[in-house]
Every structure is written in C-alpha cells, then in structure tokens.
Amino acid sequence: MRGQTVLITGATSGIGRATAVHCGALGANVVAAGRRAEMGEALVQEIEQAGGTACFIKTDVTREEDVAATIAATLERFGALDFAFNNAGIFHDEPGFHEYDNQMWDKHLGVGLTGVFRRMKHELVAMLAQPGDKHRSIVNNASTVGMRGSTASGAGYTAVKHGIIGLTRQAAVEYASTPIRINAICPGPTLTEATAPLLDQDPETRRAFLSTLNPTATLIEADDIAATFAFLCSDAARMINGQTLPMDGGQLAQL
C-alpha cells in the first residue's frame, strides 16, 4: 500500500481503527473519517508517530454533502483515491420484528445501507476519473448476519447487512470492465470496545458463551479483519471481485 491512499469510514474505533493503523503501517496515506474528532486526531497521531501518513476528516455518513466533501478533501490532500473501506455502521439491541418502530428502522437503513450506497457512489466517481489502469478496490463491511437470520440481531441490522452484500455484488458486476474491484468482508462476532466486557467473565463461562458464536470459541480479532482488507486491496486479490468473504471461525459452517 506504500504511497497509495485509503479512505476508511467509522475509523475512530473498533474494526475501522484497527484497519487505519494497519494500513498506516503498510505505508498507505490513511484518510480516517468519523464523527468523533478527538478520537480521530488521536488515531492520526498514533499512525504518524509510527512513521505513517494520515489525516482525520469529521464525517456524518448520513449526510451526502459530508460524504462528497470527504472524497473531495481526500483528492485535494493526496491526489487520488485507491482504496476505500465502507465500515461505518451501528449495532445495538433491537426489539422484536412486530415491535420495530419506523424511527429505528430509518436510522439503521440511513447509516448502514443508504450511507454505504452514497459512499460507494462518490468513491466510484472519484476512482473512475483517475487515469491509468492501476487496480483500485472498494471493500464493504457486512456481517455473517447478512448471509442468514440471527436471534442475536434484529430486522434493521439484518436487512442492512443483506443489502450491503447486494450492493457489493451489483457494483462489482457493473464495473467489472474497469480496474475497480468491489468486495465485502462478513465478520462474525468481533472483539471491539462493545464486546470487550465478555472477556471479564471467568474462563469457563466465557468459553461456554463464545462456543455458541463459532466453533473456535473465540471472538474475531479486529486486526485480522484489517489484514484481510489489505489483502483484498492487493494485487494478489486481483481476480477476487463481487465476493462476500466470511471471517467467522467456522460459524456459518455449522448447523
């Protein structure tokens, strides 16, 4: 990734933050986009102290003008957009299907699905305008919930993640004749700030619970997802297009 530019939304915590640090270590120009400026600036400082190049842009992914401005700022700062990780999303406790209210539904789709559509649209415009045939890559963060239903999820989150996979496949087909590849990563339950309290349980209780999530009885590491993103952006993955790559410790393989 040395000297190439990567845009990461939802970059201030969790999977997004791990991916920003990883790409910075690989020599990329990292554009970290998110809502929390203080955390974003701390991330930039960490990447730069490690010898990388980064900037933070405060972005609300539900506002198309913010998305467009973020892309424009990326091009102005670094002159190109080579890779994008559409990672921003929301996850919280959801009510039963019949209890779901319109406000929660609209919020989930606005951030998680419409937001991804708008980001992809503006990313594609920027990438298509760049000269040359160098491979470029868009990766969307979906979920194993995008590949089946789940009692641990709800209507909004599940619909969003299914929709992201649909957008990924559609865009990959439409732009297959260009140097741009579009794929999705589908993580299972991942170790982030939200799931860290699980590790505070005693070992037996923790393993018993985690074994219900996947056969390895462990949470997915955010660093592993970051490394997979970098792989999908590399020339080694030049024939991978329109794919959904589960990272789930075998979760989807078991009944």
* Alpha helices for the chain (secondary structure H): 14-25, 37-49, 64-78, 102-109, 115-128, 155-174, 203-210, 222-233
| Inter-axis angle of helices 14-25 and 37-49, nearest 10 | 30
> Which residues are marked as active site?
157
The span from the first CA to the last CA of the chain, in angstroms, equals 39
Contact 161, 146 (CB under 8 A): yes
Helix/strand/coil for 183: strand
Per-position DSSP letters for 29-76, written without gaps between them: EEEEEES-HHHHHHHHHHHHHTT-EEEEEE--TT-HHHHHHHHHHHHH
